[in-house]
Amino acid sequence: MEADLGVALFRRDTHTVALTDAGAALLPSARTALAGFDEALLSARGAAGPALEGVLRVGITPMMRHRLAPSVLERFAELCPAVEVQRREELSGPLVQELLAHRVDVALAFCPPPHDGLLYTPIRDAELVVLVARSHPLAVHRAVALSALDGEPLLMPSSAAAPDVRRRFDELFAARGLRAVYSPRSIDHDEEMAAVAQGFGVALVSRYFFDVAPPGTALLALRPPLALDFELVHRAGSTAPALARFLDAVREVGAQPTEALAAAPPLSGESR
């Protein structure tokens, strides 16, 4: 589109992509055009034959648990009401293994590790927030810079559960002249998030992970905002009949502005 128009639609550097004024001017019309195209596709599919039936096995990262994943499943139910969705929640490492073992048909993953034979489609950025204990000195702030976490032990999933996340965190810190420090404890499961409330470290998580902060903790925004990526992953050549419709649902929801989804979890305190 940039080549056809002869103007830059995005400003790009090694860490961020942002709309130019021209890109921002095009965005509303582009969304309308794409929505019309999606409706045309759905009409064509509806005229082609009866509604799809069967089962679609969907793996979902907990990092999409609130707002994003429910929106995707709701939209898919509208597109394919006769398809049963069997949902499995795992972190990105196990999700990729479930795909390779043919135990799920498609996965919505947070920073999934690359693997031959799988196809990866970006969904949208996952804005990061900081989870700290209520007793932590940072808990009085509404937002903090990443530099405020310099030297703080980070609680994160194990390398088996999220093999690519630590590398991505290292890159975020290094790009700002910082070094990530990791706690020896892992937070592979929900009950292990209690380690944050107990003061064993802080956690960087997706904004869509929690509806509200767990007891004894506070959620803080990052300023400037930082994000990693959610991706849809499926096997190359997959023949699951409902997969194409699921991709439609993911693309529709992924293109929606954040404010069109459910309300954001409350954040605490003052900015720092």
User: Which pLDDT tens digit goes with each residue over 121-160?
Assistant: 998 888 999 999 999 999 999 999 999 999 999 999 999 9
What is this structure's pTM? 0.75
Question: Is 50 exceeded by the pLDDT of residue 265?
Answer: no
Which of 68, 71, 66, 109 has the alpha carbon at shortest distance from 219? 66
pLDDT of residue 156: 94
- Condensed to tens digits (0 to 9), the pLDDT of residues 188-207 reads 999 999 999 999 999 999 99
What is the band of 45 on the pLDDT scale with cuts at 50, 70, 90? low
CATH topology of domain 126-228+266-271: D-Maltodextrin-Binding Protein; domain 2 (3.40.190)
Token pair for residue 86?
Answer: 């069997």
pLDDT of residue 238: 85
Q: At what angle do helices 68-79 and 243-255 cross, to 10 degrees?
A: 130
pLDDT of residue 221: 95
Beta bridge partners of 49: none
- Condensed to tens digits (0 to 9), the pLDDT of residues 244-257 reads 999 999 999 988 87
Token pair for residue 205?
Answer: 């998580």
| Cβ–Cβ under 8 Å, residues 235 and 119 | yes
Alpha-carbon distance 110 to 92, whole Å? Answer: 6
Which three-class secondary structure state does DSSP give residue 32? Answer: helix
pLDDT of residue 267: 41
Alpha-carbon distance 161 to 61, whole Å? Answer: 11
Average pLDDT value for the chain: 87
- Condensed to tens digits (0 to 9), the pLDDT of residues 5-33 reads 888 888 877 666 788 988 888 888 877 77
Annotated domain spans of the chain: 2-124+229-260, 126-228+266-271
Over residues 213-241, mean pLDDT = 92
- Condensed to tens digits (0 to 9), the pLDDT of residues 85-123 reads 999 999 999 999 999 999 999 999 999 999 999 999 998
pLDDT of residue 46: 54
pLDDT of residue 40: 65
The residues near 215 (Cβ < 8 Å, ≥ 6 apart) are 197
Tokens 């404010």 appear where?
Answer: 259
pLDDT of residue 263: 47
What is the band of 82 on the pLDDT scale with cuts at 50, 70, 90? very high
Q: What number does CATH give the domain 2-124+229-260? A: 3.40.190.10
Same fold, 2-124+229-260 and 126-228+266-271: yes
